[in-house]
Amino acid sequence: MEKIKTYKAFDKELKCRDFQYEIGKEYKHKGKVEICSSGFHSCINPFDCLSYYPLIETRFCECEVWGKTDKNNDDSKVSSEFILIVKELSEKEFNLICVDFLIKECEEKQSGDDSQQSQSGYASKQSQSGYRSQQSQSGDDSQQSQSGDDSQQSQSGDRSQQSQSGDHSKQSQSGYRSKQSQSGYASKQSQSGYRSQQSQSGDDSQQSQSGDRSQQSQSGDHSKQSQSGYRSKQSQSGYRSKQSQSGDDSQQCSCGYDSEIIATGENNVAAAIGEKSKIKGIIGTWITLAEYDNDSKCICVKSAIIDGKKLLPDTWYILKNKKFTAI
């Protein structure tokens, strides 16, 4: 019986619709298999997982499905009779899989160096591996894939996808509910689309996002994130990375060593729980910091609100001797 490789998203407890899964286990659905109704659901295109679960605070797994299946007409979502949860993927692994998938998926291919592509058709695909190449795309529901170093991508279509693995490359995207994935070293992402998502694992990279309710995820060392969208989220695990956020009602989380968070939006929540990390924000910002001993063991985690009295606005804070300390 043919097995199909798929990808599935879960909550933090590895649950989906209150059903508890375990890594390495096989499951069988008894009864009718119908997309969005019954059976075990997963996606052939890893990017499509982000249409059902947020990029941040989500666990991703590689799976295999077989038996009776039913497929979605809108994306690669599939419902199956059998599913095997093969392995869990780290943020970086998921990011690289997104890149590799789109490279293989795209139908229009170009491998020449210094080449250019321009495309405006709906649901179109571009694939490019040439050094210093350029892609421009404005069609809705389209896909771009690029692996060449020092290359550029520009995309304005709604619900579109970009994947890039080349070093020193650039991505620009303004489409509504679009997605970007990037693993190249010292690369840049710019996104202004509403409810869009960015994922980046390359070291020394940069992300800029202004769309409301958007999400950013970054694991590269020495990287930077900038976000101004309302009710947006940032997640960062890279060493000595930086986050800046000015959108109201937004959330920031950083667990990288020696990282920085600046929160200037109203009613924001910021957590820098990496060793030797620091935070500053405006009045009304809730902050969380962690303190570690000489063996890098966490000994204290504290949260407080910047009220202008006990904690001052626009002031860097660390956690020292289990107290918020201005530096």
Q: How far apart are CA 182 and CA 134, in angstroms?
A: 16
Task: Please say whether the beta carbons of 144 and 162 come within 8 A.
Answer: yes
Dist CA 116 CA 134 (whole Å): 5
pLDDT at 163: 66
Distance CA 37, CA 35 (A): 5
Buried b (16+ CB within 10 A) or exposed e, 297-316: eeeeeeeeebeeeebeeeee
Measured in residues, the chain has a length of: 327
Q: What's the confidence (pLDDT) of residue 269?
A: 84
How are beta strands 278-281 and 260-263 bridged, if at all? parallel
User: What is the pLDDT at residue 179?
Assistant: 67
- Under 8 Å between Cβ of 160 and 142: yes
Displacement of CA 186 from its chain's centroid (Å): 17
DSSP state, residue 53: S
Rg from Cα positions in the chain: 21
Closest CA to 51 of 212, 143, 178: 178
Distance (Å, rounded) from C-alpha 225 to C-alpha 235? Answer: 9
Say what the pTM is. 0.51
The residues facing 233 across adjacent strands are: 215, 251
CA 54 vs. chain centroid, Å, equals 8
Q: Give residue 103's identity as a one-letter amino acid code.
A: I
pLDDT of residue 128: 56
Tokens of 77: 């979502």
Q: Which of 91, 319, 65 is nearest to 198 (CA)?
A: 91
What is the residue-level pLDDT of the chain in tens, covering all 327 positions? 799 999 999 999 999 999 999 999 999 999 999 999 999 999 998 878 878 887 667 899 999 999 999 998 888 999 999 999 999 998 778 877 876 776 565 544 444 444 455 555 555 555 555 555 556 556 566 666 666 566 566 666 666 666 666 666 666 666 666 666 666 666 656 556 565 666 666 666 555 555 555 566 656 666 655 556 665 666 556 666 666 656 666 677 777 778 888 888 788 888 888 899 999 999 999 999 999 999 989 999 999 999 999 999 999 999 999 999 999
Count of C-beta atoms within a 10 Å radius of residue 269: 18
